[in-house]
Amino acid sequence: MKPFEDCVTGIVGLGLMGGAIAMALRRIPEEAGRGGLVLACDIDGGTIDAALKAKLIDEGFTDAGAMLGRCDLLFLCLNPGTLLRFMNKWMTAFKSGALITDIAGIKGSIAETMEGTLREDLDFIPGHPMAGSEKGGFENAGSCNFTGRNYILTPLRRNKPEHLEFLRDLIRRMGFGRIVETTAEEHDRKIAFTSQLCHVIAAALIDCEADTAITRFGGGSFEDLTRIAMLNVPMWTELFLENRRELLRRIEQFEGSLGMLKGLIAGGEEGRLRKTLQAVRQRRSSMT
Amino acid sequence: MKPFEDCVTGIVGLGLMGGAIAMALRRIPEEAGRGGLVLACDIDGGTIDAALKAKLIDEGFTDAGAMLGRCDLLFLCLNPGTLLRFMNKWMTAFKSGALITDIAGIKGSIAETMEGTLREDLDFIPGHPMAGSEKGGFENAGSCNFTGRNYILTPLRRNKPEHLEFLRDLIRRMGFGRIVETTAEEHDRKIAFTSQLCHVIAAALIDCEADTAITRFGGGSFEDLTRIAMLNVPMWTELFLENRRELLRRIEQFEGSLGMLKGLIAGGEEGRLRKTLQAVRQRRSSMT
Protein backbone atom coordinates (compact mmCIF):
# COMPACT_ATOMS: atom_id res chain seq x y z
CA MET A 1 0.00 0.00 0.00
CA LYS A 2 1.35 3.42 -0.90
CA PRO A 3 1.94 6.03 1.80
CA PHE A 4 -1.03 8.00 3.12
CA GLU A 5 0.36 11.14 1.47
CA ASP A 6 -0.08 9.51 -1.94
CA CYS A 7 -3.54 8.07 -1.25
CA VAL A 8 -6.89 9.47 -2.15
CA THR A 9 -8.83 9.13 1.10
CA GLY A 10 -12.62 9.21 1.20
CA ILE A 11 -14.78 9.87 4.23
CA VAL A 12 -18.35 8.64 3.96
CA GLY A 13 -20.60 10.52 6.38
CA LEU A 14 -19.48 13.84 7.83
CA GLY A 15 -21.12 13.61 11.23
CA LEU A 16 -19.30 14.09 14.52
CA MET A 17 -16.80 11.30 13.88
CA GLY A 18 -16.41 11.79 10.12
CA GLY A 19 -15.71 15.45 10.75
CA ALA A 20 -13.25 14.68 13.55
CA ILE A 21 -11.40 12.20 11.32
CA ALA A 22 -11.21 14.81 8.54
CA MET A 23 -9.69 17.23 11.05
CA ALA A 24 -7.19 14.65 12.28
CA LEU A 25 -6.15 13.73 8.72
CA ARG A 26 -5.65 17.42 7.92
CA ARG A 27 -3.18 17.72 10.79
CA ILE A 28 -0.98 14.92 9.48
CA PRO A 29 1.15 16.53 6.74
CA GLU A 30 4.10 17.59 8.95
CA GLU A 31 6.39 14.73 7.85
CA ALA A 32 5.91 14.63 4.09
CA GLY A 33 5.25 18.34 3.96
CA ARG A 34 1.81 17.65 2.58
CA GLY A 35 -1.21 15.53 3.43
CA GLY A 36 -3.10 13.18 1.17
CA LEU A 37 -6.08 14.20 -0.93
CA VAL A 38 -9.21 13.94 1.23
CA LEU A 39 -12.66 13.61 -0.32
CA ALA A 40 -15.94 13.27 1.54
CA CYS A 41 -19.55 12.53 0.85
CA ASP A 42 -22.59 13.26 2.95
CA ILE A 43 -26.30 13.29 2.22
CA ASP A 44 -26.40 16.84 3.55
CA GLY A 45 -25.08 19.37 1.03
CA GLY A 46 -24.80 22.06 3.69
CA THR A 47 -22.36 19.93 5.66
CA ILE A 48 -20.25 19.34 2.55
CA ASP A 49 -20.18 23.10 1.91
CA ALA A 50 -19.15 23.77 5.50
CA ALA A 51 -16.35 21.18 5.31
CA LEU A 52 -15.07 22.63 2.03
CA LYS A 53 -15.21 26.15 3.43
CA ALA A 54 -13.23 25.04 6.50
CA LYS A 55 -10.72 23.40 4.12
CA LEU A 56 -11.14 20.11 5.98
CA ILE A 57 -11.71 18.28 2.69
CA ASP A 58 -10.45 18.84 -0.84
CA GLU A 59 -13.60 17.76 -2.65
CA GLY A 60 -17.09 16.98 -1.45
CA PHE A 61 -20.04 15.06 -2.82
CA THR A 62 -23.62 14.32 -1.92
CA ASP A 63 -23.52 11.24 -4.12
CA ALA A 64 -21.12 8.51 -3.02
CA GLY A 65 -21.01 7.13 -6.56
CA ALA A 66 -19.05 10.17 -7.70
CA MET A 67 -16.27 9.49 -5.21
CA LEU A 68 -15.89 5.81 -4.33
CA GLY A 69 -14.11 4.79 -7.54
CA ARG A 70 -11.26 7.23 -6.82
CA CYS A 71 -10.51 6.29 -3.19
CA ASP A 72 -7.55 4.14 -2.09
CA LEU A 73 -8.64 4.43 1.54
CA LEU A 74 -12.13 4.85 2.93
CA PHE A 75 -13.44 5.74 6.37
CA LEU A 76 -17.10 4.79 6.59
CA CYS A 77 -18.50 6.96 9.37
CA LEU A 78 -22.04 5.62 9.47
CA ASN A 79 -24.35 3.99 11.98
CA PRO A 80 -24.11 0.18 11.86
CA GLY A 81 -27.32 -0.49 9.93
CA THR A 82 -26.66 2.32 7.45
CA LEU A 83 -23.14 0.97 6.97
CA LEU A 84 -24.35 -2.49 6.01
CA ARG A 85 -26.88 -1.05 3.58
CA PHE A 86 -24.21 1.26 2.15
CA MET A 87 -21.77 -1.61 1.55
CA ASN A 88 -24.48 -3.67 -0.09
CA LYS A 89 -25.57 -0.84 -2.36
CA TRP A 90 -22.09 0.33 -3.42
CA MET A 91 -20.11 -2.92 -3.42
CA THR A 92 -19.36 -2.69 -7.14
CA ALA A 93 -18.35 0.99 -6.99
CA PHE A 94 -15.16 0.75 -4.91
CA LYS A 95 -11.75 1.12 -6.53
CA SER A 96 -9.97 -2.17 -6.90
CA GLY A 97 -7.44 -2.67 -4.11
CA ALA A 98 -9.09 -0.15 -1.81
CA LEU A 99 -8.72 -0.42 1.96
CA ILE A 100 -11.96 0.28 3.77
CA THR A 101 -12.48 0.81 7.47
CA ASP A 102 -15.41 1.87 9.63
CA ILE A 103 -16.05 3.40 13.04
CA ALA A 104 -19.25 1.71 14.19
CA GLY A 105 -19.78 0.93 17.88
CA ILE A 106 -20.63 -2.73 17.32
CA LYS A 107 -18.57 -5.08 15.27
CA GLY A 108 -20.14 -8.56 15.24
CA SER A 109 -22.63 -8.15 12.40
CA ILE A 110 -20.26 -6.01 10.38
CA ALA A 111 -17.36 -8.45 10.64
CA GLU A 112 -19.62 -11.36 9.78
CA THR A 113 -21.16 -9.63 6.76
CA MET A 114 -17.81 -8.44 5.43
CA GLU A 115 -16.22 -11.88 5.81
CA GLY A 116 -19.04 -13.21 3.67
CA THR A 117 -19.77 -10.54 1.10
CA LEU A 118 -16.75 -8.30 0.53
CA ARG A 119 -15.33 -8.25 -3.01
CA GLU A 120 -12.13 -10.28 -3.33
CA ASP A 121 -10.07 -7.30 -4.50
CA LEU A 122 -11.03 -5.10 -1.53
CA ASP A 123 -9.97 -5.16 2.10
CA PHE A 124 -12.09 -4.14 5.10
CA ILE A 125 -10.67 -3.65 8.59
CA PRO A 126 -13.43 -3.03 11.16
CA GLY A 127 -12.45 -0.30 13.62
CA HIS A 128 -13.84 1.63 16.56
CA PRO A 129 -12.20 4.90 17.65
CA MET A 130 -13.05 5.25 21.36
CA ALA A 131 -13.52 8.97 21.34
CA GLY A 132 -16.84 10.68 21.08
CA SER A 133 -18.71 13.64 22.41
CA GLU A 134 -22.21 14.10 23.71
CA LYS A 135 -22.42 16.96 21.23
CA GLY A 136 -23.26 15.35 17.92
CA GLY A 137 -22.93 16.39 14.30
CA PHE A 138 -20.27 17.83 12.03
CA GLU A 139 -20.51 21.22 13.71
CA ASN A 140 -19.19 19.70 16.94
CA ALA A 141 -16.40 17.63 15.36
CA GLY A 142 -13.87 19.90 17.04
CA SER A 143 -15.06 18.75 20.49
CA CYS A 144 -13.94 15.21 19.69
CA ASN A 145 -10.41 14.83 21.00
CA PHE A 146 -8.40 11.84 19.75
CA THR A 147 -5.21 12.51 21.72
CA GLY A 148 -4.20 9.50 23.77
CA ARG A 149 -7.52 7.71 23.28
CA ASN A 150 -8.08 4.03 22.53
CA TYR A 151 -8.74 2.76 18.99
CA ILE A 152 -10.03 -0.78 18.68
CA LEU A 153 -9.47 -2.87 15.57
CA THR A 154 -11.19 -6.21 15.03
CA PRO A 155 -9.28 -7.58 12.03
CA LEU A 156 -10.83 -10.12 9.71
CA ARG A 157 -8.95 -13.29 8.82
CA ARG A 158 -8.64 -12.01 5.27
CA ASN A 159 -6.99 -8.68 6.18
CA LYS A 160 -3.60 -8.15 4.56
CA PRO A 161 -0.81 -7.57 7.09
CA GLU A 162 0.42 -4.55 5.10
CA HIS A 163 -3.05 -3.01 5.33
CA LEU A 164 -3.15 -3.54 9.07
CA GLU A 165 0.27 -1.98 9.40
CA PHE A 166 -0.81 0.98 7.26
CA LEU A 167 -3.93 1.58 9.35
CA ARG A 168 -2.13 1.22 12.70
CA ASP A 169 0.39 3.80 11.56
CA LEU A 170 -2.30 6.20 10.38
CA ILE A 171 -4.24 5.81 13.64
CA ARG A 172 -1.14 6.73 15.62
CA ARG A 173 -0.55 9.73 13.39
CA MET A 174 -4.14 10.82 14.07
CA GLY A 175 -3.19 11.09 17.73
CA PHE A 176 -4.68 7.98 19.29
CA GLY A 177 -2.74 6.56 22.22
CA ARG A 178 -3.46 2.86 22.28
CA ILE A 179 -4.48 0.45 19.55
CA VAL A 180 -6.30 -2.62 20.83
CA GLU A 181 -6.67 -5.55 18.44
CA THR A 182 -9.23 -8.17 19.29
CA THR A 183 -12.11 -10.19 17.88
CA ALA A 184 -15.46 -8.67 17.01
CA GLU A 185 -17.03 -10.88 19.69
CA GLU A 186 -14.75 -9.66 22.45
CA HIS A 187 -15.22 -6.07 21.29
CA ASP A 188 -18.98 -6.37 21.56
CA ARG A 189 -18.77 -8.05 24.98
CA LYS A 190 -16.46 -5.40 26.46
CA ILE A 191 -18.13 -2.43 24.80
CA ALA A 192 -21.48 -3.55 26.17
CA PHE A 193 -19.96 -2.76 29.56
CA THR A 194 -17.66 0.25 29.05
CA SER A 195 -19.91 2.09 26.66
CA GLN A 196 -23.47 0.86 26.23
CA LEU A 197 -24.18 0.03 29.89
CA CYS A 198 -22.81 3.44 30.88
CA HIS A 199 -25.18 5.14 28.44
CA VAL A 200 -28.14 3.12 29.72
CA ILE A 201 -27.24 4.08 33.31
CA ALA A 202 -26.93 7.76 32.41
CA ALA A 203 -30.31 7.61 30.65
CA ALA A 204 -31.92 5.88 33.63
CA LEU A 205 -30.53 8.50 36.02
CA ILE A 206 -32.12 11.28 34.00
CA ASP A 207 -35.34 9.31 33.49
CA CYS A 208 -35.90 9.01 37.24
CA GLU A 209 -35.68 12.72 38.09
CA ALA A 210 -38.12 15.15 36.50
CA ASP A 211 -36.78 18.26 38.23
CA THR A 212 -34.44 19.96 35.77
CA ALA A 213 -33.37 22.39 38.52
CA ILE A 214 -31.77 19.47 40.35
CA THR A 215 -28.38 20.74 39.11
CA ARG A 216 -28.62 23.44 41.80
CA PHE A 217 -27.63 20.55 44.04
CA GLY A 218 -24.95 19.23 41.72
CA GLY A 219 -21.33 18.96 42.72
CA GLY A 220 -19.85 17.36 39.64
CA SER A 221 -20.73 13.68 40.13
CA PHE A 222 -24.22 13.95 38.72
CA GLU A 223 -23.00 16.10 35.85
CA ASP A 224 -20.19 13.64 35.01
CA LEU A 225 -22.49 10.61 35.19
CA THR A 226 -25.19 12.11 33.00
CA ARG A 227 -23.34 14.15 30.39
CA ILE A 228 -23.61 11.20 28.00
CA ALA A 229 -27.40 11.17 28.46
CA MET A 230 -27.41 13.87 25.76
CA LEU A 231 -27.07 11.00 23.34
CA ASN A 232 -27.40 10.62 19.60
CA VAL A 233 -30.79 8.91 19.78
CA PRO A 234 -30.92 6.98 16.48
CA MET A 235 -27.35 5.71 16.90
CA TRP A 236 -27.70 4.56 20.49
CA THR A 237 -31.09 2.99 19.85
CA GLU A 238 -29.41 0.96 17.13
CA LEU A 239 -26.37 0.08 19.26
CA PHE A 240 -28.48 -0.98 22.26
CA LEU A 241 -30.73 -3.21 20.16
CA GLU A 242 -28.02 -4.63 17.93
CA ASN A 243 -25.90 -5.68 20.92
CA ARG A 244 -28.85 -6.48 23.12
CA ARG A 245 -27.81 -9.91 24.31
CA GLU A 246 -24.49 -8.70 25.76
CA LEU A 247 -25.99 -5.47 26.99
CA LEU A 248 -28.78 -7.23 28.88
CA ARG A 249 -26.23 -9.53 30.49
CA ARG A 250 -24.25 -6.47 31.62
CA ILE A 251 -27.34 -4.66 32.89
CA GLU A 252 -28.18 -7.72 34.98
CA GLN A 253 -24.66 -7.93 36.41
CA PHE A 254 -24.87 -4.27 37.31
CA GLU A 255 -28.30 -4.74 38.88
CA GLY A 256 -26.79 -7.50 40.99
CA SER A 257 -24.01 -5.28 42.30
CA LEU A 258 -26.40 -2.39 42.89
CA GLY A 259 -28.78 -4.69 44.76
CA MET A 260 -25.91 -5.96 46.91
CA LEU A 261 -24.91 -2.40 47.88
CA LYS A 262 -28.56 -1.51 48.50
CA GLY A 263 -28.85 -4.49 50.83
CA LEU A 264 -25.80 -3.43 52.84
CA ILE A 265 -27.13 0.12 53.15
CA ALA A 266 -30.66 -1.00 54.05
CA GLY A 267 -29.29 -3.41 56.65
CA GLY A 268 -26.99 -0.78 58.12
CA GLU A 269 -24.10 -3.20 57.65
CA GLU A 270 -21.34 -0.71 58.24
CA GLY A 271 -18.44 -3.17 58.37
CA ARG A 272 -19.36 -5.02 55.17
CA LEU A 273 -20.22 -1.79 53.37
CA ARG A 274 -16.87 -0.31 54.28
CA LYS A 275 -15.07 -3.44 53.14
CA THR A 276 -16.92 -3.49 49.82
CA LEU A 277 -16.25 0.19 49.14
CA GLN A 278 -12.60 -0.35 50.01
CA ALA A 279 -12.37 -3.14 47.44
CA VAL A 280 -14.11 -0.95 44.86
CA ARG A 281 -11.74 1.91 45.56
CA GLN A 282 -8.72 -0.35 45.15
CA ARG A 283 -9.99 -1.92 41.93
CA ARG A 284 -10.82 1.42 40.33
CA SER A 285 -7.48 2.87 41.40
CA SER A 286 -5.67 0.01 39.68
CA MET A 287 -7.45 0.68 36.39
CA THR A 288 -5.23 2.75 34.17
CA MET B 1 -19.83 40.91 62.45
CA LYS B 2 -16.48 42.47 61.60
CA PRO B 3 -14.99 42.05 58.11
CA PHE B 4 -13.25 38.79 57.27
CA GLU B 5 -9.93 40.65 57.16
CA ASP B 6 -10.27 41.45 60.85
CA CYS B 7 -11.45 37.98 61.90
CA VAL B 8 -9.43 35.16 63.32
CA THR B 9 -10.60 32.19 61.25
CA GLY B 10 -10.11 28.62 62.39
CA ILE B 11 -10.24 25.52 60.23
CA VAL B 12 -10.89 22.29 62.09
CA GLY B 13 -9.64 19.32 60.07
CA LEU B 14 -7.15 19.83 57.26
CA GLY B 15 -8.28 17.11 54.89
CA LEU B 16 -9.15 17.64 51.25
CA MET B 17 -11.84 20.22 51.95
CA GLY B 18 -10.20 21.90 54.93
CA GLY B 19 -7.05 22.31 52.86
CA ALA B 20 -9.01 23.62 49.87
CA ILE B 21 -10.80 26.16 52.09
CA ALA B 22 -7.46 27.29 53.54
CA MET B 23 -6.20 27.82 49.98
CA ALA B 24 -9.32 29.74 48.97
CA LEU B 25 -9.13 31.97 52.06
CA ARG B 26 -5.48 32.70 51.31
CA ARG B 27 -6.41 34.00 47.86
CA ILE B 28 -8.88 36.55 49.26
CA PRO B 29 -6.69 39.49 50.40
CA GLU B 30 -6.77 41.47 47.13
CA GLU B 31 -9.36 44.01 48.33
CA ALA B 32 -8.17 44.92 51.81
CA GLY B 33 -4.58 44.32 50.84
CA ARG B 34 -4.36 41.58 53.42
CA GLY B 35 -6.26 38.44 54.44
CA GLY B 36 -7.49 37.51 57.87
CA LEU B 37 -5.50 35.45 60.34
CA VAL B 38 -6.08 31.76 59.57
CA LEU B 39 -5.48 29.09 62.20
CA ALA B 40 -6.02 25.38 61.78
CA CYS B 41 -6.06 22.26 63.87
CA ASP B 42 -5.71 18.65 62.76
CA ILE B 43 -5.00 15.44 64.65
CA ASP B 44 -2.08 14.85 62.27
CA GLY B 45 0.95 16.95 63.14
CA GLY B 46 2.55 16.26 59.77
CA THR B 47 -0.39 17.87 57.99
CA ILE B 48 -0.14 20.95 60.22
CA ASP B 49 3.57 21.20 59.45
CA ALA B 50 2.90 20.90 55.70
CA ALA B 51 0.20 23.59 55.84
CA LEU B 52 2.49 25.94 57.77
CA LYS B 53 5.34 25.32 55.37
CA ALA B 54 3.06 26.07 52.41
CA LYS B 55 2.01 29.27 54.24
CA LEU B 56 -1.64 28.25 53.90
CA ILE B 57 -2.21 28.89 57.60
CA ASP B 58 -0.66 31.30 60.08
CA GLU B 59 -0.71 29.01 63.08
CA GLY B 60 -1.40 25.32 63.49
CA PHE B 61 -2.41 23.07 66.34
CA THR B 62 -2.98 19.41 67.01
CA ASP B 63 -5.16 20.31 69.99
CA ALA B 64 -8.37 22.18 69.17
CA GLY B 65 -8.50 23.53 72.71
CA ALA B 66 -5.52 25.75 72.02
CA MET B 67 -7.30 27.47 69.11
CA LEU B 68 -11.08 27.54 69.52
CA GLY B 69 -11.18 30.36 72.11
CA ARG B 70 -9.48 32.75 69.66
CA CYS B 71 -11.65 32.18 66.56
CA ASP B 72 -14.37 34.56 65.37
CA LEU B 73 -15.17 32.27 62.46
CA LEU B 74 -14.82 28.50 62.26
CA PHE B 75 -14.97 26.05 59.36
CA LEU B 76 -15.50 22.56 60.73
CA CYS B 77 -14.21 20.25 58.00
CA LEU B 78 -15.08 16.91 59.57
CA ASN B 79 -17.17 13.87 58.69
CA PRO B 80 -20.73 14.17 60.07
CA GLY B 81 -20.32 11.84 63.06
CA THR B 82 -16.97 13.34 64.03
CA LEU B 83 -18.48 16.80 63.72
CA LEU B 84 -21.27 16.03 66.21
CA ARG B 85 -18.80 14.52 68.66
CA PHE B 86 -16.50 17.51 68.22
CA MET B 87 -19.27 20.02 68.93
CA ASN B 88 -20.35 18.07 72.00
CA LYS B 89 -16.81 17.85 73.36
CA TRP B 90 -15.78 21.45 72.73
CA MET B 91 -19.06 23.35 73.19
CA THR B 92 -17.70 25.34 76.12
CA ALA B 93 -14.43 26.22 74.37
CA PHE B 94 -15.71 28.48 71.55
CA LYS B 95 -15.23 32.23 71.69
CA SER B 96 -18.41 34.06 72.62
CA GLY B 97 -20.11 35.43 69.49
CA ALA B 98 -18.30 33.05 67.13
CA LEU B 99 -19.85 32.09 63.80
CA ILE B 100 -19.40 28.39 63.05
CA THR B 101 -20.07 26.60 59.79
CA ASP B 102 -19.44 23.08 58.54
CA ILE B 103 -19.07 21.27 55.21
CA ALA B 104 -20.64 17.87 55.87
CA GLY B 105 -22.53 16.07 53.09
CA ILE B 106 -25.68 15.51 55.14
CA LYS B 107 -27.43 18.18 57.09
CA GLY B 108 -30.51 16.75 58.87
CA SER B 109 -28.89 15.40 62.02
CA ILE B 110 -26.48 18.34 62.25
CA ALA B 111 -29.21 20.97 61.91
CA GLU B 112 -31.37 19.18 64.45
CA THR B 113 -28.56 18.80 66.98
CA MET B 114 -27.41 22.40 66.60
CA GLU B 115 -30.95 23.78 66.96
CA GLY B 116 -31.17 21.89 70.24
CA THR B 117 -27.72 22.12 71.81
CA LEU B 118 -25.78 25.13 70.51
CA ARG B 119 -24.75 27.69 73.11
CA GLU B 120 -26.94 30.82 73.05
CA ASP B 121 -24.01 33.14 72.31
CA LEU B 122 -22.79 31.17 69.26
CA ASP B 123 -24.19 30.87 65.75
CA PHE B 124 -23.96 27.83 63.49
CA ILE B 125 -24.83 27.91 59.78
CA PRO B 126 -24.77 24.42 58.23
CA GLY B 127 -23.13 24.45 54.79
CA HIS B 128 -22.13 22.10 52.00
CA PRO B 129 -19.63 23.22 49.36
CA MET B 130 -20.44 21.12 46.26
CA ALA B 131 -16.88 20.65 45.14
CA GLY B 132 -14.80 17.63 45.88
CA SER B 133 -12.25 15.38 44.31
CA GLU B 134 -11.81 11.64 44.18
CA LYS B 135 -8.29 12.31 45.41
CA GLY B 136 -8.61 12.72 49.15
CA GLY B 137 -6.48 14.29 51.85
CA PHE B 138 -4.72 17.58 52.45
CA GLU B 139 -2.04 16.75 49.87
CA ASN B 140 -4.69 16.85 47.13
CA ALA B 141 -6.44 20.01 48.30
CA GLY B 142 -5.18 21.78 45.19
CA SER B 143 -7.24 19.45 42.98
CA CYS B 144 -10.43 20.81 44.54
CA ASN B 145 -11.65 23.65 42.35
CA PHE B 146 -14.29 25.98 43.82
CA THR B 147 -14.68 28.26 40.80
CA GLY B 148 -18.30 28.50 39.72
CA ARG B 149 -19.42 25.58 41.89
CA ASN B 150 -22.56 25.36 44.02
CA TYR B 151 -22.49 25.99 47.77
CA ILE B 152 -25.55 24.93 49.72
CA LEU B 153 -26.54 26.56 53.00
CA THR B 154 -29.29 25.17 55.22
CA PRO B 155 -29.80 28.03 57.69
CA LEU B 156 -31.23 27.42 61.14
CA ARG B 157 -34.14 29.49 62.41
CA ARG B 158 -31.80 31.04 64.97
CA ASN B 159 -29.16 32.23 62.44
CA LYS B 160 -28.56 35.99 62.55
CA PRO B 161 -29.17 37.70 59.20
CA GLU B 162 -25.83 39.51 59.46
CA HIS B 163 -24.04 36.18 59.86
CA LEU B 164 -25.76 34.77 56.81
CA GLU B 165 -24.80 37.86 54.83
CA PHE B 166 -21.21 37.56 56.01
CA LEU B 167 -20.98 33.91 55.03
CA ARG B 168 -22.63 34.42 51.61
CA ASP B 169 -20.15 37.17 50.86
CA LEU B 170 -17.19 35.04 51.97
CA ILE B 171 -18.40 32.07 49.88
CA ARG B 172 -18.56 34.27 46.80
CA ARG B 173 -15.07 35.58 47.50
CA MET B 174 -13.86 31.97 47.74
CA GLY B 175 -14.93 31.56 44.09
CA PHE B 176 -18.19 29.66 44.33
CA GLY B 177 -20.72 30.42 41.62
CA ARG B 178 -24.12 29.78 43.10
CA ILE B 179 -25.35 29.80 46.69
CA VAL B 180 -28.43 27.68 47.25
CA GLU B 181 -30.33 28.19 50.48
CA THR B 182 -32.77 25.52 51.53
CA THR B 183 -33.85 23.33 54.43
CA ALA B 184 -31.75 20.50 55.79
CA GLU B 185 -34.51 18.09 54.76
CA GLU B 186 -34.56 19.25 51.14
CA HIS B 187 -30.76 19.19 51.04
CA ASP B 188 -30.69 15.58 52.18
CA ARG B 189 -33.41 14.58 49.70
CA LYS B 190 -31.69 16.19 46.71
CA ILE B 191 -28.17 15.19 47.66
CA ALA B 192 -29.28 11.57 47.98
CA PHE B 193 -29.84 11.79 44.23
CA THR B 194 -27.13 14.10 42.85
CA SER B 195 -24.35 12.82 45.05
CA GLN B 196 -24.94 9.65 47.04
CA LEU B 197 -26.85 7.70 44.36
CA CYS B 198 -24.14 8.60 41.84
CA HIS B 199 -21.47 7.24 44.15
CA VAL B 200 -23.43 4.03 44.74
CA ILE B 201 -23.84 3.59 40.96
CA ALA B 202 -20.13 4.17 40.34
CA ALA B 203 -19.27 1.64 43.05
CA ALA B 204 -21.71 -0.91 41.60
CA LEU B 205 -20.21 -0.46 38.11
CA ILE B 206 -16.75 -1.26 39.44
CA ASP B 207 -18.03 -4.08 41.65
CA CYS B 208 -19.50 -5.93 38.66
CA GLU B 209 -16.34 -6.04 36.53
CA ALA B 210 -13.26 -7.78 37.88
CA ASP B 211 -11.08 -7.17 34.81
CA THR B 212 -8.96 -4.11 35.60
CA ALA B 213 -7.72 -4.12 31.98
CA ILE B 214 -11.26 -3.24 30.86
CA THR B 215 -10.06 0.34 30.38
CA ARG B 216 -8.39 -0.84 27.15
CA PHE B 217 -11.97 -0.68 25.88
CA GLY B 218 -12.75 2.65 27.51
CA GLY B 219 -13.77 5.68 25.51
CA GLY B 220 -14.41 8.18 28.28
CA SER B 221 -17.90 7.21 29.43
CA PHE B 222 -16.76 4.43 31.73
CA GLU B 223 -13.93 6.57 33.06
CA ASP B 224 -16.28 9.51 33.74
CA LEU B 225 -18.90 7.33 35.42
CA THR B 226 -16.47 5.56 37.71
CA ARG B 227 -13.90 8.19 38.67
CA ILE B 228 -15.83 8.82 41.88
CA ALA B 229 -15.56 5.12 42.76
CA MET B 230 -12.13 6.03 44.17
CA LEU B 231 -14.06 7.23 47.17
CA ASN B 232 -13.12 8.25 50.70
CA VAL B 233 -14.39 5.04 52.26
CA PRO B 234 -15.08 6.11 55.88
CA MET B 235 -16.82 9.30 54.78
CA TRP B 236 -19.05 7.70 52.15
CA THR B 237 -19.93 4.77 54.41
CA GLU B 238 -21.11 7.32 56.93
CA LEU B 239 -23.01 9.43 54.38
CA PHE B 240 -24.75 6.40 52.83
CA LEU B 241 -25.88 5.05 56.20
CA GLU B 242 -26.76 8.39 57.74
CA ASN B 243 -29.01 9.32 54.79
CA ARG B 244 -30.13 5.77 54.14
CA ARG B 245 -33.87 6.36 53.98
CA GLU B 246 -33.62 8.94 51.16
CA LEU B 247 -30.81 7.08 49.45
CA LEU B 248 -32.76 3.81 49.36
CA ARG B 249 -35.76 5.64 47.93
CA ARG B 250 -33.51 7.06 45.19
CA ILE B 251 -31.87 3.71 44.46
CA GLU B 252 -35.32 2.21 44.00
CA GLN B 253 -36.42 4.99 41.65
CA PHE B 254 -33.27 4.45 39.63
CA GLU B 255 -33.82 0.69 39.58
CA GLY B 256 -37.29 1.39 38.20
CA SER B 257 -35.97 3.51 35.34
CA LEU B 258 -33.19 1.05 34.60
CA GLY B 259 -35.67 -1.83 34.57
CA MET B 260 -37.92 0.10 32.19
CA LEU B 261 -35.04 0.66 29.75
CA LYS B 262 -33.97 -2.96 30.11
CA GLY B 263 -37.50 -4.04 29.22
CA LEU B 264 -37.56 -1.90 26.07
CA ILE B 265 -34.18 -3.29 24.98
CA ALA B 266 -35.10 -6.89 25.78
CA GLY B 267 -38.38 -6.52 23.90
CA GLY B 268 -36.69 -4.91 20.92
CA GLU B 269 -39.14 -2.02 21.21
CA GLU B 270 -37.33 0.34 18.89
CA GLY B 271 -40.02 3.02 18.70
CA ARG B 272 -40.58 3.31 22.44
CA LEU B 273 -36.85 3.12 23.18
CA ARG B 274 -36.17 5.93 20.74
CA LYS B 275 -38.94 8.03 22.24
CA THR B 276 -37.65 7.47 25.78
CA LEU B 277 -34.06 8.30 24.85
CA GLN B 278 -35.28 11.42 23.05
CA ALA B 279 -37.08 12.56 26.23
CA VAL B 280 -33.94 11.82 28.28
CA ARG B 281 -31.79 13.78 25.86
CA GLN B 282 -34.12 16.77 26.02
CA ARG B 283 -34.37 16.71 29.80
CA ARG B 284 -30.63 16.48 30.31
CA SER B 285 -30.00 19.21 27.74
CA SER B 286 -32.33 21.53 29.65
CA MET B 287 -30.40 21.02 32.89
CA THR B 288 -27.95 23.86 33.36
CATH of the domain at B204: 1.10.3660.10
Q: How many domains does chain B have?
A: 2
**Which of B150, B200, B285 is opposite residue A230, by nearest beta carbon?**
B285
Domain final residue, candidates B161, B182, B203: B182
Answer yes or no: do B217 and A130 touch at CB < 8 A. yes
Burial A119-154, CB ≥16 within 10 A → b, else e: eeebbbbbbbbbbbbbebebeebeebebeebbbbbb
User: Same structural domain for residues A59 and A112?
Assistant: yes
Q: Can you state the angle between helices A80-90 and A108-117, rounded to 10 degrees?
A: 10
How many beta carbons lie within 10 A of that of residue B21, not counting itself? 26
B145 lies within 8 A of chain A by CB: no
A179 lies within 8 A of chain B by CB: no
DSSP code for A95: P
Q: Which residues of chain A have pLDDT under 50?
A: none
User: Same structural domain for residues A208 and A159?
Assistant: no
Residues of B whose CB is below 8 A from A260: 204, 207
> In this structure, are residues A225 and A204 in contact, taking their beta carbons and an 8 Å threshold?
no
Task: Supply the pLDDT for residue B135.
Answer: 83
Answer yes or no: do B241 and A268 touch at CB < 8 A. yes
CA gap A240, A197 in Å, rounded: 9
User: Same structural domain for residues A169 and A254?
Assistant: no
User: Same structural domain for residues A106 and A11?
Assistant: yes
A45 lies within 8 A of chain B by CB: no
Residues of A whose CB is below 8 A from B282: none
CATH number at residue B87: 3.40.50.720
Domain final residue, candidates A157, A182, A207: A182
> In this structure, are residues B111 and B184 in contact, taking their beta carbons and an 8 Å threshold?
yes
H or E segment at B242?
Answer: helix B233-242
Side-chain half-sphere CA neighbours of A48 within 13 A: 19
Considering the entire predicted model, what is its pTM? Answer: 0.93
> In this structure, are residues B283 and A206 in contact, taking their beta carbons and an 8 Å threshold?
yes
Residues of A whose CB is below 8 A from B201: 201, 205, 225, 258
Domain final residue, candidates A156, A182, A208: A182
User: Same structural domain for residues B31 and B123?
Assistant: yes
Q: Which residues of chain B have pLDDT under 70?
A: 30-33
This model of the complex carries an ipTM of: 0.93
Task: Supply the pLDDT for residue A33.
Answer: 67
Side-chain half-sphere CA neighbours of A244 within 13 A: 15
User: Same structural domain for residues A196 and A111?
Assistant: no
User: Same structural domain for residues B65 and B109?
Assistant: yes
Total length of chain B? 288
User: Same structural domain for residues A88 and A203?
Assistant: no
User: Same structural domain for residues B173 and B191?
Assistant: no
CA gap A221, A223 in Å, rounded: 5
User: Same structural domain for residues A230 and A261?
Assistant: yes
User: Same structural domain for residues A231 and A130?
Assistant: no
- Computed from CA positions of residues A233, A12, A108, A193, in that sequence, does the dihedral angle turn out positive or negative? negative
CA gap B88, B106 in Å, rounded: 18
A274 lies within 8 A of chain B by CB: yes
User: Same structural domain for residues A126 and A197?
Assistant: no
Domain extent at residue B205? 187-285
Distances (CA, A) of B215 to A235, A258, A262, B158, B222: 23, 21, 26, 51, 8
